[in-house]
Amino acid sequence: MYEFTVSADSKAELYRDLHAALDALTEGEHDAIANMANAAALIAQYLPDLNWSGFYRMVAGELVVGPFLGKPACIRIAVGDGVCGAAAKTLETQLVEDVHAFPGHIACDAASRSELVVPIVHEDRLIGVLDLDSPSAARFDAQDAAGCEALMTLLAPRIAA
């Protein structure tokens, strides 16, 4: 059983502790599915107000759903489509305060109102994206984006195989 101490006092402390927990959870393990599954679960456990937490992987030029917690989701997303496809195309984090206002947003769960998608790059190669959905509008801010980018920088070499 894993037990982590993750502070909820401030976002800075939350992401600092989450980073340490993800490091401990994935250190020395090189199985990509195992590490993505535990990362999705860790994030879902400690980040409040999410209804979907997980990964899309780059497979033969398109995004394919990977380990996640949430409702069953669309399986394949073309680069450039939706929020995930925008992150894959631009290689930039997509912070969407209102998914209904995002052109081409792909609705996998009608409850989703805001979304954060972080591209995962290792050695100049796009491995996939982290996708977080929330039922609350404007759930994510720049601190969440930076915090999740740091988490994915840590995870990237551990899911690259």
Asked if residues 149 and 21 have their Cβ atoms less than 8 Å apart, the reply is no
Determine if 40 is a binding residue for ligand SME (CB under 6 A): no
Strand-by-strand arrangement of the 76-78 sheet: 76-78, 62-70, 52-59, 125-134, 114-122, 94-96
Among 66, 82, 119, 147, binds ligand SME (CB under 6 A): 82
Query: Candidates 13-21, 42-50, 80-88, 136-144 — which segment interacts with ligand SME by CB under 6 A?
Result: 80-88
Task: Check residue 83 for interaction with ligand SME (CB under 6 A).
Answer: yes
Q: Which residues, 51 to 70, sit near ligand SME by CB under 6 A?
A: 52
Our finding on whether 131 is near ligand SME (CB under 6 A) is yes
**21 or 116, CB closer to ligand SME?**
116
Does 108 bind ligand SME (CB under 6 A)? Our answer is: yes
> Least separation, in Å, of the C-beta of 52 and ligand SME?
5
Residue labelled with tokens 């059983």? 1
- Judged by DSSP in three states, 157 sits in helix
Is residue 144 involved in binding ligand SME (CB under 6 A)? no
Record the tokens describing residue 18, joined without a space: 């989450």
Give the per-residue SS3 of 10-65.
CHHHHHHHHHHHHHHHHCCCCCHHHHHHHHHHHHHHHCCCCCEEEEEEEECCEEEE
Which residue is closest to ligand SME by CB? 82
Asked if residues 139 and 10 have their Cβ atoms less than 8 Å apart, the reply is no
Backbone φ and ψ for 57, nearest 5 degrees, come out as: -105, 145
The binder of ligand SME chosen from 18, 93, 115, 140 (CB under 6 A): 115
Q: Is there binding between residue 88 and ligand SME (CB under 6 A)?
A: no
Q: Which residues bind ligand SME (CB under 6 A)?
A: 52, 73-74, 77, 82-85, 105-106, 108, 112, 115, 131, 133
